[in-house]
Amino acid sequence: MNYRLYFYDTANQISHIFPFDCINDTLAQSIAELHAQDTTYELWNRDRLVTRKQYALEDVEIPVGLRRRGYNI
């Protein structure tokens, strides 16, 4: 099956796309984890979102007034 792995930058913009073939969702998720390396990503199979994983450090508190991920804090 055809999968696409979308990597997101800190501005929540797609920074890179990695297309690959895999036999099932479980193995594709493992491949995504190996390639992501502390980066927010979405894994898609054609037009179906398989999973989205947000990098944990992106949830840290940011000083007031900074713009982060499209939201004013």
d(CA 10, CA 1): 29
Pairing of strands 14-21, 71-72: unpaired
Q: What is the pLDDT of residues 8-58, one digit of tens each?
A: 988 889 999 999 999 999 999 999 999 988 899 999 999 999 999 987 655
The count of domains in the chain is 1
Question: Domain range spanning residue 48?
Answer: 2-72
Region 65-70 average pLDDT: 51
- Residue 73: pLDDT over 80: no
